[in-house]
């Protein structure tokens, strides 16, 4: 069965700091991986996704993530955060033969202006 772990529950950073949010998944086969963001009071929206090819994936708003198959990880990074990045971030996984997408528990990111 698919599962996702996000170990950071709440991260607090100052503006311009670098960000890395951890995501580890469990699945025995090929996976598709996603990062979603939920800004306060808004819907979830897709930040980026990995399917195949280059393990370094670039998304919207300067975010990127690296798929490391040997570590079953898909960490999210941003070199310099802004106050507007304050949100909750969710990692998600879909097994390539599966019909469902499973989410992690989320990481709340707070940025100090």
Q: Does 12 bind other proteins (CB under 8 A)?
A: no
Q: Which of 73, 40, 38 is nearest to 55 (CA)?
A: 73
Q: Does 9 bind other proteins (CB under 8 A)?
A: yes
Q: Does 11 bind other proteins (CB under 8 A)?
A: no
In the set 59, 104, 109, 111, which binds other proteins (CB under 8 A)?
104
Query: Could you say which residues in the range 16-75 bind other proteins, by CB under 8 A?
Result: 32, 34, 36, 43-46, 49, 51
Q: How far is CA 43 from CA 71, 77, 87, in A?
A: 30, 21, 11
Stretch that binds other proteins, among 21-29, 53-61, 67-75, 94-102 (CB under 8 A): 94-102
Q: How far is CA 77 from CA 10, 89, 98, in A?
A: 15, 11, 27
Q: Between vectors from CA 15 to CA 66 and to CA 55, what angle results, nearest 5°? A: 5
Distance in Å, CB of 51 to other proteins, minimum: 7
d(CA 94, CA 48): 14
Q: Does 6 bind other proteins (CB under 8 A)?
A: yes
Token pair of 39 as six digits: 């800004």
Give contact residues for other proteins (rule: CB under 8 A). 6, 9, 32, 34, 36, 43-46, 49, 51, 90, 94, 99-106
């Amino acid at each position: 069965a698919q599962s996702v772990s996000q170990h950071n529950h709440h991260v607090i950073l100052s503006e311009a700091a670098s960000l890395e949010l951890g995501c580890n998944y469990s699945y025995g086969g090929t996976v598709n991986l996603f990062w979603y963001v939920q800004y306060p009071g808004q819907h979830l929206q897709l930040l980026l996704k990995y399917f195949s090819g280059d393990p370094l994936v670039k998304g919207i708003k300067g975010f990127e993530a690296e798929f490391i198959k040997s570590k079953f990880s898909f960490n999210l990074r941003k070199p310099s955060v802004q106050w507007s990045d304050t949100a909750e971030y969710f990692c998600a996984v879909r097994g390539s033969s599966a019909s469902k997408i499973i989410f992690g528990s989320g990481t709340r990111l707070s940025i100090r202006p």
